[in-house]
Amino acid sequence: MDARLNYFDSPTAGKALKHFMSAGKALKESPLSATTQELVALRVSQINGCAVCTDMHTKEAAAAGETAVRLHLVAAWREATVFTEAERVALELAEQGTRVADAADGVSDEVWARAAQHYDENQLTALVILVSFMNTVTRLNIITRQPAGDYEVGQFH
């Protein structure tokens, strides 16, 4: 399968995507744990059906030491016992923030209050930006049908 657009050959994409890369780097350096970031990025990617991002974040999480069991259970995190309460609320916030049309009001006050019990303001800020960032990136990849499977750990760092 070939992508509809090659972002690496496009001067417009090059200019715009360098800002996305900077945003991604800032998120990696945020106080939100790398584990939580990868789990949230993976869940948003799964919900949106972005194969490229699912490929990337599964491999990055595994390289960082995440277990196969936890990675396989991200899609069914509600029934899984392998996630901490903090991770569970981050995944729920990610789902509500991604499925805004389904959730009507977006992230509920209940989920926000539970997230605030586990994350400080800087971490919550990073979590919100990460969910928004991943929703943007997944849509870029879905619209242009970017193929997946060839991602190598650290490829975009």
The confidence score (pLDDT) of residue 52 equals 94
For the chain, what is the domain count?
1
- Are the beta carbons of 57 and 109 closer than 8 angstroms? no
Calculate the dihedral angle through the C-alpha atoms of 34, 40, 41, 46, rounding to the nearest 10 degrees: 150
Residue 151 lies in a domain: no
| pLDDT, tens digit, 9 for 90 and up, residues 53-95 | 999 999 999 999 999 999 999 999 999 999 999 999 999 999 9
* pTM of the predicted protein model: 0.93
How far apart are the C-alpha atoms of 55 and 125, rounded to whole Å?
25
Q: Is 77 in contact with 83 (CB distance < 8 Å)?
A: yes
Residue 56 maps to which CATH number? 1.20.1290.10
Q: Is 56 within the bounds of a domain?
A: yes
- Comparing CA positions, the residue from 32, 24, 45, 146 lying closest to residue 95 is 45
Helix (H, G, I), strand (E, B) or coil at 84: coil
Nearest to 65 by CA among 34, 89, 44, 90: 34
In a domain, 14, yes or no: no
For residue 13, being part of any structural domain is answered with no
* Structural domain boundaries, residue 97: 32-143
**Residue 25, in any domain of the structure:** no
